[in-house]
Every structure is written in structure tokens, then in C-alpha cells.
């Protein structure tokens, strides 16, 4: 009994795992989609910046105007919060980072991952553009470093918002589900009441149930109840008949001796061989015997009346113990 | 009791750290030779001027031009008129407000005949390119109102903005124009104001200017100390000076074991300049022979191995720079017939720590090839005096870019330029420089520069030794130091601070 839970809790509980799974899956999917879009957008934007800068930078490289290149790169990175490095002949020609790096050999970044046209280090996304004229043998490279942290922060932020939103939606759905469940269970409760009423033989009015299947059950219960009542009556009548027969039998049995005795008294009265004293005794015992017979008949009549009433009250829906009928009246 | 007090006082002085907590001691090869911006031609003077004075504009560490005393500026559509709006509430060190009249006065001084820097300003309307202009009313600089200055140029010249950000375009208070001794105790508007000069101890003290428009410097004082490189390194080891920026240190110098090394490119070329006005270098053949003999690459490798080989006069990173594919200079033994017997004196700064080794190297190299050469280490001020008067036959100097444009380096060789140390008189070169100035197409301009360099190389007035990479020694106690790619002159000391705890610990972190 202790393992039993209400259908409401059962249904509600069975939804929990699904609900949380869906929440997490939605969160992951949205976060992943956002991160991918964001990264892709960042890389695409970086590529566009480099493509836009490259022709002008290439010209400045050709005329060796580092100062102009520095100005351009610095103005770009101020707006973009990133870092630009121009590498020429393996050396840092221009950089928006520390000027200390200028003219020193360029240390290529340690790439951890290549994805979506971008190169990833531990904390940066790098996009590279090669600057080369068709008629030139030498080439320079322009590196654009964008910090990964803002993208991660945005993704984590989106993730957090999605989780919160999903949880809120989940809770809201849960509340609505509970209400719907409760409402859905009302017909069952109603059916339950119907069945209970059937058992307690209540005379309360039976209301129709909106759920078709449950209404069918209710109708079945009602018709079954009616049939049970009819069957009950029949059985009661049958039993009454049986009891009546039994009573008659008893009566006949009980009347046999006194009637036989009465016949004997009559024979004594009419027999020439019997003395007058005996005849007088016999005559005196006739009213006694007749009284006994009358008592028997009266008792039998009374029994028949009582047993019929008792049989009417037996409820087949709630039969007596061991199923035997009570014949206590016959013992009176 | 008195004895005890004095003992205590002496002990206190004795245990005091070499530098007080917020006083920045800077070693220099020379104290400023002048505080007059229009007469400055040496790094020490320019560096000090950049501390004491301010201009309309300034350079960032990466050579971006930024507003200084001017809060904004604009250029007319024809490129000939520049208009500057001064910041409100800017003051000189004596509390006098800075006005447009002060700007006009200061810039007009730069175009006068006595200005040694007028070549940078001769693009201004009304300025006589040969002799300068005294009459300010004829010059295209005027005050439109209390805070607005207008400068009219003869032709569009975008590089002129660099001049106004440079070390010579400093703003002086007009009210002292008739004060003869003004430059003995100059008044500027820079982050530091002049306090005193101790000639005996070769020290100059500057104090932080409380009302500086960018906010007071983190340093309370700057002390400029003149010394040789050897003395400077000794002081650095004891943390008595906080930077050796003036000195071109070798990256492997042991002094770096006791401080920080900040390495940075700098736009300069070390040269041996040859004076075409003094024999034997008045002969092109002699100059060519001399140039071919001198082992410039050997010199670089021995004394400054991390410097870049110089194939031309223009440093890397500037239009006109030539790499090894354009000009190949290979030292060869010259034929004896081309060697000149006349004695040649090459002066080199005696303050260089390797001055004697350099002397030995050069003499060995040149004498070994038959030249009659004497290398003379000379005090810097004397060297500069001879340079200005064009007395030296040959001299070793670092030609620093004052402005980030090759124009200003090449102009040194214009015939009519008073600063033409070589005395070169080449009309074709003059024409090339003039053409490049007027050329607005960058690619064409760079091509003209390269042609100019080629011509210069053919003239053999300079032996290009190398382009240095600066190795700055900085004390461990210094924070916020940021080198400037153009020159040490433009290092921003307003961002520098000193770690007091480190100073108390004798420079150890």
C-alpha cells in the first residue's frame, strides 16, 4: 500500500525526466546554434575586414610605409577590440600589439583547432590573409586576432538565459499539466464516486461524465446495478418460494401426527369395542389436538410471512457471511 | 645631544636610497645644449624640450598623431589651410593661459632666419625658403580668435602635421619674447617645469606641473644627469639612474642582468658622414673609394649585432627604405691608386662605451687598406659644434628621424638647406626631393625616394653603418615605460611611475 501513488503524481513524475531532458536538449541546441552562428559571423566579419584592408595595406607594404600601416591597423582594432599583425619576410612589420615586437621574427601562434575557416588558440580566433600581387614573388600575411572570451561569454550568457527560460517554460507547462491532469482526473473521480455509490446503495443522482469512455463505464455500472437489482429480486422471490415450500413441508410434517391422532380419537369414538371412559378421554383430547393443529398452522403462517420479508432485504451486492441465508425466524 | 642628532641625520642620509621614491633620474650623454626649440638639433635638447614644452599635436608610441594643446583640428578641402582649436583652460607653468597668440608667436619664430629648423616650416605661405622670414605679418600663421589658429600652406603638404607633432613646434609664452635669459630658465606648458641646473654636477632638475592638461604626472621630479656611457652603466647597477635610454646598448651588455631590457625598433641610421666641403672628400672619387673600403657590416656585427644592415639612408619601415636587393654594398679592397694620402680625421662621440674599440676597429680597417686615418673620440657638445659649423671631415653620428617621413631625412641633403652637413650640392637630387614633396601618390612618391637614395648613394656622402634596434635598460622599479618607435625624444614619461618598495630594496623586485 505504501508504494501506491495517485495517478496524478504518477503521471506528473513520469513527465519530469522528459521535461528536464527536453530543457537541456533545447538549451544545448540553442547554445550550440548561437555559438556556431556567432563564431561563423565573427570569422566572416574578420575575413571581410582583412579583404577590405588588404589592397591598401599591400600598397603601403610595397612603399614600406609602416607608419601609415600602423595607423590604419590601430584605427581598425580600436573599433574591433582585436589585434592585427602584418608579417613580412617572416618578421613583424607592423602590429597593433606592443611595438617591441616590430622587426623581430614572427612567432606563429599555437593553433589548437581549425574550424569554419578560422584558427583557434586557447583564447583567440585567428584569421589570416595573404597579401600578394600577381607579379610579385614575395608575400606578406595579415593576421587578425579576435578574443574568444567575448564569444564564450555571450554563449554562456545565452546558455544561461535559455536554461532559465526553459526552466520557466517547463515550470509553467508543469503547472498547466497539473491543472489539466486534475481536470482530466475529475471524470475518474466521478466514476469512482459512482462505483462507491453503487456499493453504498446511495440514492444520490448520477451525473453524466464528459469522457466518453468513462461515461460508457458509468452507463455499464448503472445498467449492471439495475440488472443486479432485478437479479436480486428474482433471487429473493425464488428463495421466498423455496422457503414457502419448505414451510409447507414442515407444516405438513408437523400436522401429520396431530391429524393422525385426531383420526384415532375419531375411531375410538366410533368403535363399539371401546369403553365409555376411553371414548370420553378420546373426546376430550380432540379439542386439545385441534388446538395444537391450529397453533402449528398459525406458527407456520407466521413463519411464512417473516421469511418472505427477510428474503426481500438480502442484498446480493453485500451478501451475508459464507453466503448462507439466515433461517433464524424458523427457529422462533 | 646635538652630536647624537647629527649622527642620526647622517645615518638617515646614508641609508636613504639613491633615488628618492618619486624622483626619476635619467642618464643622458649630454644635458640639453639649448632650450630654444628653433635651435635644437640634438637628441638631448629635443628630449628635454618634449618634457618641458608642449605643441599643438603629439606622437603616440606607434606614431599616430594625437591632439595635445589643440583639442581638434581640420584641413580645408584644398589641403592648404589647417585650423586648430586650442583646449580651454590650458596654462603655462607660470599660470598664464595659453592663447592663439602664443601659438602664432612660437611657430613664427621657427621661420625666422636664425631658426635652424626653418626648413621644416618653409611650406607655410610667406616663408622665404632660402633665408626665412622675420616679418611675422607676411607669414601665413594667424590667430582667428582667442583659441583658434589658422596656418596657410603654399601647397598641400600632409606631412606638415608631423612637424606640428614634433619636437621643434613647441609653444612658448609670448609675454617673454623680449626676455633674453628666457632659455636659461624656460617656461613651457609640458608635464614637467624647469626647476634648476647644477652645472658643476651636470644635473638638471624638472618638477611635475600640477596643472598639466592631461593630469599631473605620476612622477614628482625628473633629474637629467649627464654622464658617459660607462658612468651611466655604473649608476644603473646601483639603481642611481632609472633608465639608460640615451645609450645604444648591446643586447648582451651585463647591465641587463640588473634591470629590464626593453627592445624596440627605432627610426635611425648610424652613419659616417663625409664633408664634401673639406678635402679629400670634396672629391667624389675619394668619397667612393673611402666608402668602399670601410667595413660597415663588420662594424655592425662587432658592436651592434642585433642592428639591421643598412643598405640605404632611410631606416626600415619608411617609404624609401632599400633592402639588400636594391643596392649591394660589398666592402672591397680599393686599389692603392684611389687611396688618398691626405690625413683624414673621423670624430666619434667619446661618450660611447666602446669608443676606444670603435676607434681601433676603424683605424685597423682603413689603415690596413692604405688610408691615412685618425679616429678621434670627442665630447658630444664639441662634436655637435663642429657638425653645425661643418668643420669635421668625417664624423660618426646617429641620424634620427625627427618626423615619420623620409622627406625630412632627405632634406638634409638639399643644397640650400643650412642643415646640410655634407655640403652636397646636387641639383638633380634637389629636383627629386622637390618632386617627391609635391607628389600625392604614395607609390610614386616612394619610387622618387628610392631614386633619391640611389643618387645619394652614388654621391657617397654617407657611409651607412646600420639601422639600430634600441635596447633600453630600465630599472626594475620603473612601471609604465613605453618606447616610441620614432625616437627616444618622444617617450611619454607622464605614464611612468616608480615602485617605492622596489626603490627601498635597491632596485630588486
Q: What is the DSSP letter of B30?
A: S
Strand B373-378 to B478-479 pairing:
unpaired
B316, B319, B445 member nearest A103 (Cβ) = B316
Residue A137, pLDDT score: 65
- Whole-number Å distance between alpha carbons of B172 and B101: 10
Q: Residue A70: closest CA among chain B residues belongs to which residue?
A: B62
- Inter-chain touch A65–B442, beta carbons under 8 Å: yes
B252 band by pLDDT with thresholds 50, 70 and 90 = confident
Given CB atoms, is B224 within the 8 Å cutoff of chain A? no
Say what the pLDDT of residue B17 is: 43
State the smallest CA–CA distance between residue B421 and chain A in angstroms: 26
Share of chain B above pLDDT 90, in %: 57
Lowest mean pLDDT among A19-33, B155-169, B321-335, B449-463: B321-335
Reported confidence tier of residue B215, pLDDT bands at 50, 70, 90: very high
d(CA B45, CA B38): 11
pLDDT of B96: 96
Contact B316 A65 (CB under 8 A): no
* Residue B20 banded pLDDT, cuts 50, 70, 90: low
| pLDDT band, very low/low/confident/very high, at B332 (cuts 50, 70, 90) | very low
Strand pairing partners for A165? none
Q: Which residues neighbour A220 within 8 Å (Cβ) at sequence distance 6 or greater?
A: none
Confirm if B225 and B27 have CB atoms less than 8 A apart. Answer: yes
Cα separation of B463 and B291, whole Å? 6
For B442, the closest of A59, A93, A100 (CB atoms) is A59
Nearest CA in chain B to A72: B64
The tens digit of pLDDT for each residue in B396-411 reads 998 887 788 888 788 8
Say if residue A240's pLDDT is above 80: yes
Distance (Å, whole) CA B94 – CA B74: 30
Q: Which residues of A touch B442 (CB under 8 A)?
A: 59-60, 63, 65, 68
Chain A contact for B262, CB < 8 A?
yes
Banded pLDDT at A203 (limits 50, 70, 90): low
Phi-psi region of A64 (alpha: psi -120 to 50; beta: other; left: phi over 0): left
Contact B267, B400 (CB under 8 A): yes
Task: Supply the pLDDT for residue A189.
Answer: 80
CA dihedral B406, B387, B116, B178 (to 10 degrees): 150
8 Å CB contact of A66 and B318:
yes
pLDDT value of residue A316: 54
Average pLDDT, chain A: 81
Q: Which of residues 66-125 of A touch B (CB under 8 A)?
A: 66-68, 70-71, 74, 93-94, 96, 99-100, 102-104
Q: Is the pLDDT of residue A2 over 70?
A: no
Beta strands in B176-276 (DSSP E): 192-198, 203-208, 221-226, 260-265, 268-274
pLDDT of residue B330: 43
- Contact between B27 and B475 (Cβ < 8 Å): no
For residue range B356-390, what is the model confidence (pLDDT) as tens digits?
A: 999 999 999 999 999 999 999 999 889 988 998 89
- Quote the pLDDT of residue B326: 53
Asked whether residue B245 carries a pLDDT value surpassing 60, the answer given is yes
| Residue A36 touches chain B, beta carbons under 8 Å | no
Strands (E), B249-393: 260-265, 268-274, 308-309, 344-349, 373-378
Contacts of A294 (CB under 8 A, 6+ apart): none
Residues B186-192, mean pLDDT to the nearest whole number: 97
Phi (first) and psi of residue A266, to 5 degrees? -70, -40
How far is the CA of B333 from the CAs of A206, B182, B298, B366, B370, in angstroms?
A: 128, 54, 14, 10, 9
Percentages helix, strand, coil for chain A, rounded to the nearest 5? 70, 10, 20
Q: Is the pLDDT of residue B334 over 50?
A: no
Q: Could you tell me the CA-to-CA distances from B166 to A161, B28, B120, B322 in Å, in that order?
A: 53, 20, 10, 25
Residue B396, H or E segment: strand B394-400
B475/B142 Cα distance (integer angstroms):
45
* The dihedral sign for the CA sequence A164, A168, A174, A177: negative
CB contact under 8 A, A103 and B265: yes
CB contact under 8 A, A67 and B442: no
Q: Which of A56, A58, A66 to mutate to test the interface with B (most CBs of B within 10 A)?
A: A66
Higher pLDDT residue, B462 or A36? B462
Contact: B318, A65; criterion CB under 8 Å:
yes
Instruction: Give A96's contacts in chain B (Cβ within 8 Å).
Output: 62
Q: What is the pTM of this model?
A: 0.69
Q: Which residues of A touch B261 (CB under 8 A)?
A: none
Question: B241: helix, coil or strand?
Answer: coil
What confidence tens digit (pLDDT) does each residue in B120-175 have?
898 899 998 777 888 888 899 999 999 999 999 998 887 899 899 998 899 999 99
Backbone conformation region of residue A41, classed left if phi is above 0, alpha if psi is from -120 to 50, else beta: alpha
Query: Cβ distance B25 to B452 under 8 Å?
Result: no
Rounded to whole angstroms, the Cα distance separating A257 from B194 reads 159
Q: How far is B498 from chain A (nearest CA, A)?
A: 21
Handedness of CA A96, A151, A80, B215 (dihedral sign): negative
Other CB atoms within a 10 A radius of the CB of residue A21 amount to: 10
**Structure letter (DSSP) for residue A93:** E
Does the pLDDT at position B331 exceed 50? no
Element (H, E) at B50: helix B43-52
Residue A28 forms contact with B (CB below 8 Å): no
Question: Among B413, B404, B447, which residue's Cα sits nearest to residue B161?
Answer: B404
B136: nearest Cα among B182, B96, B181, B102: B102
Instruction: Tell me the mean pLDDT in the region A143-167.
Output: 85
How do residues A317-328 score in pLDDT, each as one tens digit?
555 554 444 334
**pLDDT value for B2:** 54
Angle of CA points A53, A55, A57, to nearest 5°: 65
pLDDT greater than 60 at residue B225? yes
Distance CA B52, CA B93 (A): 9
- B195 has a pLDDT exceeding 70: yes
- List CB contacts (< 8 A) between A63 and chain B: 319, 442-443, 445-446
Segment A125-143 shows an average pLDDT of 83
Cβ contact B273:B394 at 8 Å:
yes
Name every residue whose Cβ is closer than 8 Å to that of residue A76 and which is 6 or more positions away in sequence. Answer: A49, A53, A84, A96
- CA nearest to B308 within chain A: A103
Bridge-based pairing of strands B192-198 and B203-208 is antiparallel
Task: Tell me what the pLDDT averaged over chain B comes to.
Answer: 88
Give yes or no for B251 touching A (CB within 8 A): no
The C-alpha R_g of chain A, in whole angstroms, comes to 54
Torsion sign across C-alpha atoms A42, A45, A47, A50: negative
B318 touches chain A (CB under 8 A): yes
Does any CB of chain A come closer than 8 Å to the CB of residue B446? yes
Q: Name the nearest CA neighbour of A63 among B411, B432, B407, B442.
A: B442
Q: Which residues of A touch B404 (CB under 8 A)?
A: 67
Separation CA A267–CA A261 (nearest Å): 10
**Are B62 and A59 an interchain contact pair (Cβ–Cβ within 8 Å)?**
no
Q: What is the DSSP letter of B243?
A: B
For residues B105 and B100, give the distance between their C-alpha atoms in angstroms, rounded to a whole number: 9
Round to whole Å and give the CA distance between A120 and B319. Answer: 35
Cβ distance A102 to B485 less than 8 Å, yes or no, reads: yes
Residue A238: count of CB within 10 angstroms of its CB? 11
Q: Which pLDDT value is given to residue B377?
A: 96
Residue B454: DSSP 8-state: H
Could you tell me which chain A residue has the CA closest to the CA of B448?
A: A63
**Is there a contact between B262 and A100 if contact means CB atoms under 8 Å apart?**
yes
| Residues of chain A numbered 53-72 and touching chain B (CB < 8 Å) | 59-60, 62-68, 70-71
In sequence order, the 6+-apart residues with CB closer than 8 A to the CB of B47 are B28, B32, B167, B246, B488, B489, B491
Yes or no: say if B90 and B97 are a contact pair by the CB < 8 Å rule: yes
Rounded-to-integer distance, Cα B450 and Cα B460, Å? 15
Using CA atoms, how far apart are residues A246 and A269, in angstroms rounded to an integer?
35
Measured CA distances, B343 to A234, B279, B280, B350, B373 (Å): 155, 9, 9, 20, 6
Q: What is the C-alpha separation between A327 and B117, in angstroms, rounded?
A: 143
- The predicted-structure confidence for B71-117, as pLDDT tens digits, reads as follows 999 999 988 999 999 999 899 999 999 999 999 999 999 999 888 88
What chain B holds in terms of domains, given with CATH numbers, is 19-31+190-265+470-504 (3.40.190.10), 54-181 (3.90.76.10), 268-467 (3.10.105.10)
Percent above pLDDT 70 for chain B: 93
Residues B276-302: tens digit of each pLDDT: 999 899 999 999 999 999 999 999 999
Collapsing DSSP to helix, strand or coil, B464 comes out as strand
- Contact predicate B281/B321, CB 8 Å: no
The DSSP letter of residue B182 is: G
pLDDT at A134: 66
Angle between helices A7-62 and B442-459 in degrees, nearest 10: 40
- Whether A67 sits inside 8 A of B63 (CB atoms) is yes
Amino acid at each position: 500500500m505504501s508504494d501506491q501513488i495517485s495517478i496524478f503524481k504518477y503521471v506528473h513524475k513520469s513527465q519530469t525526466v522528459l521535461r528536464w531532458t527536453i530543457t537541456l536538449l533545447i538549451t544545448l541546441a540553442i547554445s550550440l546554434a548561437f555559438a556556431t552562428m556567432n563564431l561563423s559571423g565573427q570569422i566572416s566579419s574578420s575575413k571581410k575586414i582583412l579583404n577590405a584592408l588588404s589592397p591598401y595595406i599591400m600598397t603601403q607594404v610595397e612603399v614600406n610605409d609602416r607608419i601609415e600601416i600602423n595607423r590604419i591597423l590601430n584605427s581598425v582594432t580600436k573599433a574591433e577590440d582585436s589585434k592585427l599583425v602584418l608579417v613580412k619576410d617572416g618578421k613583424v612589420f607592423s602590429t597593433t600589439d606592443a611595438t617591441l615586437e616590430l622587426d623581430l621574427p614572427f612567432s606563429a601562434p599555437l593553433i589548437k583547432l581549425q574550424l569554419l575557416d578560422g584558427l583557434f588558440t586557447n583564447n583567440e580566433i585567428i584569421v589570416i590573409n595573404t597579401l600578394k600581387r600577381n607579379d610579385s614573388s614575395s608575400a606578406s600575411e595579415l593576421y587578425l586576432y579576435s578574443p574568444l572570451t567575448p564569444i564564450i561569454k555571450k554563449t554562456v550568457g545565452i546558455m544561461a538565459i535559455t536554461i532559465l527560460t526553459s526552466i520557466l517554460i517547463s515550470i509553467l507547462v508543469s503547472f498547466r499539466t497539473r491543472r489539466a491532469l486534475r481536470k482530466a482526473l475529475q471524470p475518474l473521480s466521478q466514476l469512482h464516486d459512482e462505483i462507491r455509490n453503487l456499493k453504498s446503495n446511495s440514492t444520490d443522482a448520477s451525473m453524466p461524465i464528459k469522457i466518453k469512455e468513462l461515461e460508457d463505464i458509468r452507463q455499464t455500472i448503472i445498467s449492471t446495478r439495475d440488472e443486479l437489482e432485478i437479479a436480486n429480486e428474482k433471487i429473493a422471490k425464488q428463495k421466498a418460494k423455496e422457503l414457502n415450500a419448505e414451510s409447507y413441508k414442515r407444516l405438513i410434517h408437523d400436522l401429520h401426527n396431530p391429524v393422525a391422532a385426531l383420526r384415532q380419537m375419531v375411531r375410538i369414538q366410533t368403535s363399539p369395542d371401546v369403553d365409555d371412559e376411553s371414548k370420553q378421554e378420546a373426546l376430550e383430547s380432540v379439542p386439545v389436538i385441534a388446538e395444537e393443529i391450529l397453533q402449528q398452522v398459525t406458527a407456520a403462517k407466521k413463519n411464512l410471512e417473516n421469511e418472505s420479508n427477510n428474503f426481500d432485504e438480502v442484498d446480493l451486492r453485500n451478501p451475508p457471511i459464507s453466503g448462507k441465508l439466515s433461517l433464524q425466524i424458523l427457529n422462533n | 645631544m646635538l652630536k647624537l642628532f647629527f649622527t642620526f641625520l647622517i645615518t638617515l642620509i646614508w641609508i636613504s636610497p639613491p633615488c628618492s621614491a618619486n624622483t626619476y633620474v635619467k642618464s643622458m650623454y649630454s644635458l640639453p645644449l639649448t632650450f630654444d626649440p628653433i635651435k635644437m638639433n640634438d637628441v638631448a635638447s629635443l628630449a628635454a624640450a618634449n618634457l618641458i614644452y608642449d605643441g599643438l599635436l603629439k606622437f603616440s608610441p606607434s606614431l599616430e598623431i594625437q591632439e595635445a594643446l589643440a583639442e581638434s583640428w581640420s584641413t580645408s578641402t584644398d589641403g592648404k589651410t589647417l585650423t586648430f582649436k586650442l583646449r580651454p583652460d590650458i596654462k603655462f607653468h607660470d599660470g598664464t593661459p595659453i592663447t592663439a597668440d602664443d601659438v602664432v608667436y612660437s611657430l613664427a619664430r621657427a621661420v625666422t632666419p636664425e631658426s635652424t629648423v626653418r626648413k621644416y616650416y618653409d611650406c607655410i605661405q610667406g616663408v622665404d625658403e632660402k633665408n626665412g622670414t622675420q616679418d611675422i605679418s607676411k607669414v601665413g600663421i594667424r590667430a582667428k580668435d582667442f583659441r583658434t589658429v589658422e596656418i596657410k600652406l603654399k601647397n598641400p603638404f600632409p606631412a606638415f602635421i608631423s612637424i606640428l607633432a614634433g619636437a621643434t613646434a613647441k609653444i612658448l609664452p609670448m609675454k617673454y619674447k623680449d626676455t633674453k635669459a628666457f632659455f636659461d630658465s624656460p617656461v613651457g606648458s609640458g608635464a614637467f617645469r624647469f626647476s634648476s641646473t647644477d652645472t658643476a654636477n651636470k644635473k638638471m632638475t624638472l618638477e611635475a606641473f600640477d596643472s598639466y592638461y592631461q593630469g599631473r604626472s605620476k612622477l614628482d621630479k625628473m633629474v637629467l644627469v649627464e654622464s658617459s656611457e660607462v658612468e651611466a652603466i655604473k649608476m644603473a647597477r646601483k639603481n642611481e639612474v632609472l633608465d639608460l635610454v640615451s645609450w645604444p646598448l648591446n643586447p648582451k651588455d651585463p647591465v641587463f642582468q640588473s634591470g629590464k631590457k626593453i627592445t624596440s625598433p627605432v627610426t635611425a641610421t648610424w652613419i659616417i658622414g663625409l664633408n664634401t666641403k673639406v678635402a679629400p672628400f670634396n672629391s667624389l672619387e675619394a668619397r667612393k673609394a673611402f666608402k668602399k673600403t670601410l667595413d660597415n657590416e663588420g662594424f655592425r656585427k662587432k658592436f651592434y649585432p642585433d642592428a639591421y644592415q643598412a643598405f640605404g639612408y632611410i631606416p626600415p619601415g619608411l617609404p624609401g627604405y632599400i633592402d639588400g636587393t636594391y643596392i649591394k654594398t660589398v666592402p672591397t679592397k680599393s686599389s692603392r691608386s684611389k687611396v688618398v694620402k691626405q690625413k683624414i680625421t673621423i670624430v666619434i662621440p667619446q661618450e660611447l662605451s666602446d669608443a676606444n674599440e670603435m676607434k681601433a676597429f676603424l683605424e685597423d680597417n682603413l689603415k690596413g687598406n692604405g688610408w691615412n686615418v685618425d679616429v678621434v673620440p670627442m665630447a658630444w657638445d664639441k662634436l655637435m659644434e663642429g657638425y653645425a659649423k661643418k668643420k669635421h671631415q668625417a664624423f660618426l653620428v646617429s641620424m634620427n628621424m625627427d618626423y615619420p617621413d623620409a622627406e625630412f631625412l632627405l632634406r638634409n641633403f638639399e643644397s640650400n638647406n643650412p642643415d646640410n652637413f655634407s655640403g652636397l650640392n646636387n641639383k638633380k637630387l634637389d629636383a627629386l626631393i622637390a618632386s617627391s614633396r609635391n607628389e600625392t601618390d604614395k607609390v610614386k612618391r616612394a619610387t622618387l625616394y628610392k631614386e633619391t637614395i640611389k643618387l645619394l648613394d652614388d654621391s657617397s656622402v654617407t657611409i651607412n653603418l646600420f639601422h639600430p634596434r634600441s635596447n633600453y635598460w630600465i630599472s626594475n622599479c620603473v612601471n609604465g615605460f613605453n618606447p616610441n618607435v620614432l625616437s627616444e625624444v618622444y617617450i611619454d614619461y607622464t605614464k611612468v611611475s616608480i615602485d617605492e618598495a622596489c626603490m627601498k630594496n635597491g632596485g630588486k623586485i
